[in-house]
Amino acid sequence: MPWEKNSLAIIGNTERIGPTPRADGLAEGIGVVIGSIMRILVFQHIPVEHPGIFRDFLAEDGIPWDAVELDARDRIPDLGGYDALVVMGGPMDVWDEDEHPWLVAEKAAIREAVTDRGMPFLGTCLGHQLLADALGGRVAPMVAPEVGILEVELTADGEADPLFKGLSPVSKCLQWHGSEIVETPPGAHILARSPACRVQAFRVGEKAYGLQYHVELTATTITDWGEIRAYEESLEKILGPGALGGLDAEANRHMDEFARDARLLYDNFKCLLTAP
């Protein structure tokens, strides 16, 4: 929808699948963590929607990753070469298959990763919604968009879930979406909620997670997104003229806690990569 920035799901630079050397100097396909070889695949839907701070954590751990820019028609590689799938956000909706036909192949890849291969999966915003849609849930427009630095609350299942180990039951985060999951996939567990959105986080099986909110923020995330004119216009339509600067200032007041929570969530997700 043109007025909203619908989704954001974890990791991504603008590199493409191929032999080009990585900018961070890591060898392609070689990353060792806790004695295991790791490689992560990231789906992106617009270049500015990347995993932000998670890139720093991956570099520190020597874990290589490949970004597939689906909106640029990058091909989806064989999932057998990867240990986890991370799906970022973008301005499209899960039902926009006529305008963005690559969504069909992306959903098929998500089903293969989660259902057929049992790969660890993490999606944020659009990635969260795509996980639900691909596995039989339903996504629909919200009555009113949820935008701003707002609180999410863990459910009882969320407080007991390993992904949220060490995190506060109530935390602040960035919200920027106008669609939501209205029906979760069969067997899903709702892990977090907010007053405006019943499904802020959910898990399917043991290792597939979706987060509606954003945990990947850096000090430049909001200004980077604001360079996309459609995003700036949608924000001003919802929060009023000049909203970008105010949102950026508020986010930076909370950046230390955002970074702390992102590190905890990253470390917890990393444990899924090494779990049997």
Contacts of 19 (CB under 8 A, 6+ apart): 28
Second CATH level (architecture) for the domain 32-274: 3-Layer(aba) Sandwich (3.40)
Using 50, 70 and 90 to split pLDDT, how confident is the model at 227? Answer: confident
Residue 45 designated active-site = no
Among all chains, which residue has been given the structure tokens 């191929």? Answer: 18
Catalytic residue among 125, 146, 173, 197: 125
Residue 97 designated active-site = no
Domain layout of the chain by residue ranges: 32-274
- Tens digits of per-residue pLDDT, 62-74? 999 999 999 999 9
The SS3 call for residue 111 is helix
Mean pLDDT value of segment 217-231: 90
Chain length of the chain: 276
Predicted local distance difference test score (pLDDT) of residue 233: 80
- Tens digits of per-residue pLDDT, 23-45? 333 333 334 434 356 899 999 99
Using 50, 70 and 90 to split pLDDT, how confident is the model at 205? Answer: very high
Catalytic residue among 45, 50, 100, 214: 214
Residue 177 designated active-site = no
Is residue 139 pLDDT above 70, yes or no?
yes
Q: What is the CA radius of gyration of the chain?
A: 17
User: CA–CA separation, 252 vs 143, rounded Å?
Assistant: 28
Predicted local distance difference test score (pLDDT) of residue 158: 98
User: CA–CA separation, 147 vs 214, rounded Å?
Assistant: 11
pTM of the model: 0.87
User: CA–CA separation, 103 vs 94, rounded Å?
Assistant: 7
Predicted local distance difference test score (pLDDT) of residue 184: 98
